[in-house]
Amino acid sequence: MTELTEMKCEACRFDAPLVSDAERAEYGPKIPGWESVTVDGVERLKRVFKLKNYLEAVAFTNRIAEMAEAEDHHPLIVLEWGKVTVEWWTHKIQGLHRNDFIAAAKTDALLNQDS
């Protein structure tokens, strides 16, 4: 199987299926550190990233934003001093899609890139 970071998010339709149990079992272990949370009845992938200071957190946030634009898939990002919280879910289907696991893996890959 192709690594998640090598995959591309696909345009999601309103009738696209939520991630299956088999996909969840396959993709979940590839994004350690991410947790499943439910907000207003919608499942999301969430991770809190700790950084050294505010400027590193801003730079990381900007890298996530650039990747999100390239993938045409956009997360909730909360920026704080030394901390960035990211939540991925697919708005059109109100839950998790394979795209969310791809985006989470790509977010992890951005963490150690130079600003």
- Cα 110 from chain centroid? 11
Reported as type and span, the H/E element at residue 26 is: helix 21-27
Taken in order of first residue, the domains within the chain and their CATH numbers are 18-110 (3.30.1360.20)
Please list the pLDDT of the chain residue by residue as tens digits (115 residues): 459 888 787 777 888 889 999 999 999 999 999 999 999 999 999 999 999 999 999 999 999 999 999 999 999 999 999 999 999 999 999 999 999 999 999 999 999 775 4
In DSSP notation, 51-114 reads -SSHHHHHHHHHHHHHHHHHHT---EEEEETTEEEEEE-BGGGTB--HHHHHHHHHHHHHTTS-
